[in-house]
A and B are shown apart, each in its own frame.
Chain A
Amino acid sequence: MTTVVSPAAKVRVQQRKWALIRLASPIVLLALWQLGSAVGLIPQDVLPAPSLIAQAGVELIQNGQLVEALRVSGVRVVEGLLLGGLLGVALGTAVGLSRWLEATVDPPMQMVRALPHLGLIPLFILWFGIGELPKVLLVALGVSFPLYLNSFSAIRQVDPKLFETAQVLGFSFWQRFRTIIVPSAAPQVLVGLRQSLAIAWLTLIVAEQINADSGIGFLINNARDFLRIDIIIFGLIVYALLGISTDAIVRALERRALRYRS
């Protein structure tokens, strides 16, 4: 006796199979890592077992160090992102709207953009010391360019026919800005924001390696002095999770900004 399966059901079963395999792959890898550690194949002073890394995480959560480090690093990123982001969007918008500003502001912006911003760390230490200011400014500098470039090009791509329509309808400048420029530019500015967030976390990691007495980078550096490889790896995982979750937030914003296309 044979069971009759419809083609659609067959496709669904196939899709579920591949989804399961994709999910299983990292879990199997993790299990192999744990097994290799248990039988002594992986030396624990080089790469600790996943269970030990998880324990290190629990330890940091329980003694409050993780929360404190997250708060400090979070404030640095948020401040840098706000400062650099607002500057980048404001300059990109202004340059996009005015030929005059494009001719005067864009060339120096492109020149500064050519400098690798992480290479400025020695200069920033000399200028601003080793406190919070150079870290925030470095994040701000890295963040501002993707948002500047994307805002600039987003504004140049707004459909001129919509401006003509706005003229016929009698829109004020403010109405044109709100009703045409912002919604039309939003998707591309959000792409810029995603690039900026990636740069913000990367900049923070580098800046926190060099001189910090608090934050996630400090946690990692401190762990190095005590040979706590488990804490170092846990810290790296925290950085990765922060990057993924902020990216997910911006993607959700993108979907909202584009919901009219559905």
Chain B
Amino acid sequence: MTVTSERQLTMAAELRHVDKWYGERKVLDDVSLTVGKGEVVALIGRSGSGKSTVLRVLSGLSADHTGERSVSGAPALAFQEPRLFPWRDVRTNVGYGLTRIQLPKSEVRARADRALADVELADRADAWPLTLSGGQAQRVSLARALVAEPELLLLDEPFGALDALTRLSMRALLLDLWREHGFGVLLVTHDVDEAVALADRVLVLEEGRVVHTLVVDDARRPLSDPSANTERYRAELLERLGVQL
């Protein structure tokens, strides 16, 4: 537990008492949350609970909210779809992740190649995005998000559109990258298993409010480990989400 508290001394991101309205409808209701540096936080909730809005606020895409937002550095965001520019090759797409940093072209190229090697796609640097498989495209999107070495990575159901096997290898890849670079992660998902498998903490969002926080004591323990409390966490979250088993 000391590790967790140490991490929380330095925040990658923090929201305090954030409200947000879409017209007459209140979509975020007094949301406060923190993501420590190097911490993985999952945000889980049903459709329409406001998960994506939290990400939009944190990423700066939605500015018109009340309350406080503080983010360390420029956050990186990866969407559910890869959202690559199809008319630019893979390397150029990854290089766009460095737009906010003024760098010479050769340096952009070198960093993009390194980020591609990180996601095991060094050999596809010159390919057109449309020739990639769904998982490969999502890895390119991850490389683009991470190429600027952000302190906060925001993920909006990043593996939701992938098949089950690809999704598992993407989780493993994400954890590898996280161990290597140590960025904080806010992962929005509706997949309870994914949240439990990846996160230090899981926040349950319901109608724009954080209604429950689950601390995963043995975070990221392999599923084969018999001491893992996976089942208990899973049951707790499903109950909070109102799923009858």
User: What is the interface of chain A, defined by CB distance below 8 A to chain B?
Assistant: 161-162, 164-165, 167-171, 175, 179-180, 183-184, 259-262
Contacts and interface: CB of A to CB of B under 8 A. Distances in A.
A175 B99 CA distance: 10
A165 B81 CA distance: 11
29 contacts: A161-B79, A161-B83, A162-B83, A164-B61, A165-B79, A165-B83, A167-B61, A168-B60, A169-B96, A169-B97, A169-B99, A169-B100, A170-B74, A170-B100, A171-B99, A175-B99, A179-B85, A179-B88, A180-B85, A183-B87, A183-B88, A184-B87, A260-B128, A260-B129, A260-B130, A261-B86, A261-B128, A261-B130, A262-B128
A206 to B, nearest CB: 38
A168 B87 contact: no
B77 interface: yes
Interface in B70-129: 74, 76-77, 79, 81, 83, 85-88, 96-97, 99-100, 128-129
Interface string B124-148: 0000111000000000000010000
B151 to A, nearest CB: 16
Interface centre among B59, B76, B86, B97 (most CB of A within 10 A): B86
A115 B96 CA distance: 46
A102 B76 CA distance: 35
A162 B61 contact: no
Residue among A169, A171, A175 facing the most chain B CB atoms (10 A cut-off): A169
A261 B96 CA distance: 20
A169 B59 CA distance: 10
A168 B100 contact: no
Contacts of B87: 183-184, 260
A170 B61 CA distance: 11
Nearest to A187: B87
Contacts of B83: 161-162, 165
Contacts of A259: 128
A259 B130 CA distance: 11
Contacts of A170: 74, 99-100
Contact of B59 (A168, A180, A262): A168
A169 B87 CA distance: 17
A168 B96 CA distance: 10
Given A161-B83, A168-B61, 11 more contacts: A162-B83, A162-B85, A169-B96, A170-B99, A170-B100, A175-B99, A179-B88, A179-B96, A183-B85, A260-B129, A261-B86
Interface in B130-185: 130, 144
Nearest to A170: B100
Nearest to A159: B83
Which 10 pairs between the two chains have the least Cβ-Cβ distance? A183-B87, A170-B100, A260-B128, A165-B83, A170-B99, A260-B87, A169-B99, A168-B77, A169-B96, A260-B86
A184 to B, nearest CB: 8
B79 to A, nearest CB: 7
Nearest to B144: A169
A174 to B, nearest CB: 12
Nearest to B101: A170
A56 to B, nearest CB: 48
A38 to B, nearest CB: 56
Contacts of B100: 169-170
A213 B104 CA distance: 57
A22 B97 CA distance: 53
A258 to B, nearest CB: 9
Contacts of A260: 86-87, 128-130
A257 to B, nearest CB: 8
Contacts of A169: 96-97, 99-100, 144
Nearest to B128: A260
Interface string B46-60: 000000000000011
Nearest to A259: B128
Contacts of A180: 85
A195 B161 CA distance: 40
Interface string B62-74: 0000000000001
A261 to B, nearest CB: 6
B61 A161 contact: no
A180 to B, nearest CB: 7
A175 B98 CA distance: 13
Nearest to B88: A179
Contacts of B96: 169, 171, 179
A50 B76 CA distance: 70
